[in-house]
A and B are shown apart, each in its own frame.
Chain A
Amino acid sequence: MSRRRVGHRGVPAAALVPAVLAIAFLVLPLLGLALRSPWARLGEILTTTTVRQSLALSLWTSLVATAVSVLVGVPLAWLLARGRFPGRRVLQAAVTLPLVLPPVVGGVALLGVLGRRGLVGRYLYDWFGTTITFTPTAVVLAQVFVAMPFLVVSVEGALRGADERFDEAAASLGASRWTTMRRVTLPLIAPSLAAGAVLTWARALGEFGATITFAGNFPGRTQTLPLTVYAALESDPDAAITLSLVLLVVCLAVLVVLRGHWLGQVAR
């Protein structure tokens, strides 16, 4: 704690003014949302079937999307950070493209590949009679598409920053590559991995554009909380505001809990 206080005193006044402006810009809209929310109706709004369904759907799809992102994103980050092969830079740019792509375009792209007439989707439909669109699977895929780059970018950065001499020391003591990765490197980058996973999860939870385009919108099946908010904006604006707050509170709760964990770990 004492280190932090010293650091705080070191912030020059010239930086404080824009920082306060930034805080106001980021926090005031949230405050406005809280002030406009019809708190008296909170219980009634939260217990409607549509809201309970979309909250549950949002929670499990975003968690699955995060798990999928970690499972395939960490190896990808590894490849990009430590791999030596031609075209690595192009690949790096390509896999982070979803970060800048408008999510609706992402949804259109997913339809182009996995839709019923898509590159891959048409075979799924013709051979197995299944379609991915309009299913919870499509919701998860849309979330993975837009959110995984957050994980890849943060893990790749950590792997670049990590001291490879630890790996070499482990190898010289006879550890296999797999053991080194599991016992040495991954623990070293754990804080970044956790930060990346939380960012990925939060992005997946808030996903809207790719979901409505690729997975459609049906209560209980593909209507996640952001889609419910959007639908409610048309029929019941008060409910929309309350639901936005629920989304914020869920995110905030998780972030605060995890932040406590990190600081406990980091402030050694």
Chain B
Amino acid sequence: MITSHRPALGAALTAVLALTLAACGQSTAPGSPGTSPGTAPDDALSGELVVLAAASLQDAFDELGAAFHEAHPGVTVTFSYGGSSGLAEQIVAGAPADVFAAASTSTMETAVHGLQDAGVAGADALSPTLFASNSMVLAVPLANEAGVQGLADLERDDVTFAVCEEAVPCGAAAVRVLQAAGVTAAPVTLEKDVTAVLIKVRDDEVDAGIVYVTDLDESVTGIEVPADVNTTTSYPILALPEAPHPETAAAFTDFVLSAEGLAVLASHGFAAP
């Protein structure tokens, strides 16, 4: 009975190492792919196009992806949405992606510089294009039991609020808004992307959250942030130099920048760049 503990111990050690590693794991939420890939003999474009996009672009890009698939039935568009800086990190690490759409120019610069440092062919000639802009809004739960009326209420002791962590664009924007409004109170949590902030507000776990104007939907109430303290973020898009499908990637960025693409973005609340 006593010696039988030894194999158990070995197994325990192995499991511990595995678990510790699991702590460092990172996952990306798979986006909704288009419908099944078809073939169009009159269309040269085909294959699976992988687009990494900021979490705040999800609704607009899902629609853009469906429209692009309609125009090019041979192409299946797969999205991976997340915090822009995490996506930039994946791109620099060599994630097999075709297009990157970020929520801030600085995050895009990080990605471009990372690719240049890594010596990726063609990385020196990259020029991301701005395609949309966004501003911030105060989101409160539908019940709004705390009675939050504006940014000043965030200073109240009984009001809790969430923002993105500063490394992601929505967090950097939130910091600028709070500073401009003279709010010194700290949030209770720094979420990893804007969707996480929105969920905390929607589920009424916090009294308020700072999110993008375009994130507002019927699940939360939006309270306008005055223009003099608000901040605008620009969205750049880039066909990646190591894209497995360079032609399709270029076609997709062109489509986003086309009149049709910009109209879809406008319908989701994005302003012109």
Contact (Cβ within 8 A) A234 B168: yes
- Closest CB-CB distance, B93 to chain A, in whole Å? 9
Judge whether A41 is part of the interface by a CB distance below 8 angstroms. no
- Closest CB-CB distance, B8 to chain A, in whole Å? 6
A111-B205, A116-B205, A217-B192 given as contacts; is B1 within 8 A of A198 (CB)?
Answer: no
Judge whether B187 is part of the interface by a CB distance below 8 angstroms. yes
Contact segment of A10-18, A64-72, A168-176, A202-210: A202-210
- Give a binary string over B20-43; 1 marks a CB under 8 Å from any A CB, 0 the rest: 111111100000000000000000
Contact segment of A74-82, A85-93, A247-255: A247-255
Contact of A234 among B6, B22, B165 (CB under 8 A): B165
A30-B17, A244-B24 given as contacts; is B189 within 8 A of A235 (CB)?
Answer: no
A111-B203, A251-B20 given as contacts; is B188 within 8 A of A237 (CB)?
Answer: no
Contact (Cβ within 8 A) A198 B21: no
CA–CA, A233 and B20, complex, Å: 16
- Determine the chain A residues whose CB is within 8 A of the CB of B165 once the complex forms: 217, 231, 234
CA–CA, A213 and B24, complex, Å: 16
- Closest CB-CB distance, A251 to chain B, in whole Å? 5
7 other contacts beyond A218-B189, A229-B23, with CB at 8 A cut-off? A117-B203, A154-B8, A195-B9, A205-B20, A234-B83, A247-B23, A251-B16
17 sampled A-B residue pairs with Cβ under 8 A? A26-B18, A116-B204, A131-B160, A134-B188, A161-B1, A161-B4, A202-B19, A217-B191, A231-B165, A231-B192, A234-B165, A234-B192, A237-B89, A247-B24, A251-B16, A262-B5, A266-B5
Interface members, chain A 1-34 (any B CB < 8 Å): 26, 29-30
- Closest CB-CB distance, A94 to chain B, in whole Å? 21
Interface members, chain A 128-182 (any B CB < 8 Å): 131, 133-134, 154, 161-163
Judge whether A106 is part of the interface by a CB distance below 8 angstroms. no
A115-B205, A234-B168 given as contacts; is B17 within 8 A of A216 (CB)?
Answer: no
CA–CA, A217 and B26, complex, Å: 16
Judge whether B14 is part of the interface by a CB distance below 8 angstroms. yes
Interface residues on A, range: 35 or more
Contact (Cβ within 8 A) B22 A206: yes
Q: Which residue of A lies closest to B85 (CB)?
A: A234
Judge whether A53 is part of the interface by a CB distance below 8 angstroms. no
Judge whether A268 is part of the interface by a CB distance below 8 angstroms. yes
Contact (Cβ within 8 A) A231 B191: no
- Closest CB-CB distance, A4 to chain B, in whole Å? 9
- Give a binary string over B149-176; 1 marks a CB under 8 Å from any A CB, 0 the rest: 0000000000010100111100000000
- Closest CB-CB distance, B38 to chain A, in whole Å? 34
CA–CA, A219 and B186, complex, Å: 11
Judge whether B190 is part of the interface by a CB distance below 8 angstroms. yes
Contact (Cβ within 8 A) B192 A230: yes
- Give a binary string over B189-204; 1 marks a CB under 8 Å from any A CB, 0 the rest: 1111000000010011
Contact (Cβ within 8 A) B23 A235: no
- Determine the chain B residues whose CB is within 8 A of the CB of A203 once the complex forms: 16, 19
- Determine the chain A residues whose CB is within 8 A of the CB of B19 once the complex forms: 202-203, 206
CA–CA, A244 and B190, complex, Å: 20
Contact (Cβ within 8 A) A218 B205: no
- Determine the chain B residues whose CB is within 8 A of the CB of A116 once the complex forms: 204-205
| Most chain B beta carbons < 10 A, residue from A116, A192, A244, A262 | A116
